[in-house]
Amino acid sequence: MPEVLKPDSLKILNNPSQEPQWREDFPIRWENDHYVTRRELAKFLTLGSAFLVIANVVMAFFGKFRGAEQYPRAFVANASAIPESGSMLFRYPTDRDPCILVRAKSGELRAYSQTCTHLSCAVVHRAQDGVLSCPCHMGLFSETEGRPVAGPPIRPLPRILLDQQGDQVFAIGVEV
């Protein structure tokens, strides 16, 4: 009669002191397999360091070889249509880029991207304070320069370059 192989569990029941067969075949314990030595941690950290260098090099590459962007010339508004301390919204350079044209207290026309440089909410003109205000986190930008003056934003609003021909105001570029 052929010998019937007993499962490991039965072997252990018959002889509790004996290790099951699979334990002899795979002698590495689970906890040992997952144990990370300090040497392995040092290797892992150095590998992470290499990835960070790659990220920096990729960014440097993009910064170096990205060509100057070409912007179209687009009609924005008639200057006479913007009253003192008034503002109007327009889109430039594409229909997906909201911008705001403001007449500063000094009477000059200025235009900026309407997208807050903090978390991309739309800024609004607060003429009485001479600022562009982001209502999400109360970020404030100067209406004359677009630089952040209060709140969480740290980068200025991209400025839309304007060209005035008579009464007509054209957008000709974006200065980031």
Partner 1 sequence: METRQQGQTMFTGILLLIGTVIIVQLWLVGASMDALLAHETEILIPAAIISFLGLLLNAGLLYYIHDFDKRVRRSNPAR
For partner 1, the binding residues (CB under 8 A) are 38-39, 41-43, 45-46, 48-50, 52-53, 55-57, 59-60, 62-64, 66, 154-155, 176
Shortest reach from residue 33's CB to partner 1, in Å? 21
Contact 148, 140 (CB under 8 A): yes
Give the 3-state secondary structure of residue 170.
strand
Amino acid identity at 138: M
Give the 3-state secondary structure of residue 144.
coil
Q: Which is nearer to partner 1, 54 or 89 (CB)?
A: 54
Q: Which is nearer to partner 1, 56 or 168 (CB)?
A: 56
Residue 111 tokens, joined: 């235009």
Q: Which is nearer to partner 1, 5 or 96 (CB)?
A: 96
SS3 content of the chain, % helix, strand, coil (to 5): 25, 30, 45
Contacts of 114 (CB under 8 A, 6+ apart): 89, 98, 99, 100, 122, 123
Q: Which is nearer to partner 1, 77 or 148 (CB)?
A: 148
Contact 141, 156 (CB under 8 A): yes
Dihedral over Cα of 26, 30, 32, 33: its sign: positive
Shortest reach from residue 97's CB to partner 1, in Å? 15
Q: Which is nearer to partner 1, 60 or 150 (CB)?
A: 60
Shortest reach from residue 41's CB to partner 1, in Å? 7
Shortest reach from residue 176's CB to partner 1, in Å? 4
Shortest reach from residue 137's CB to partner 1, in Å? 17
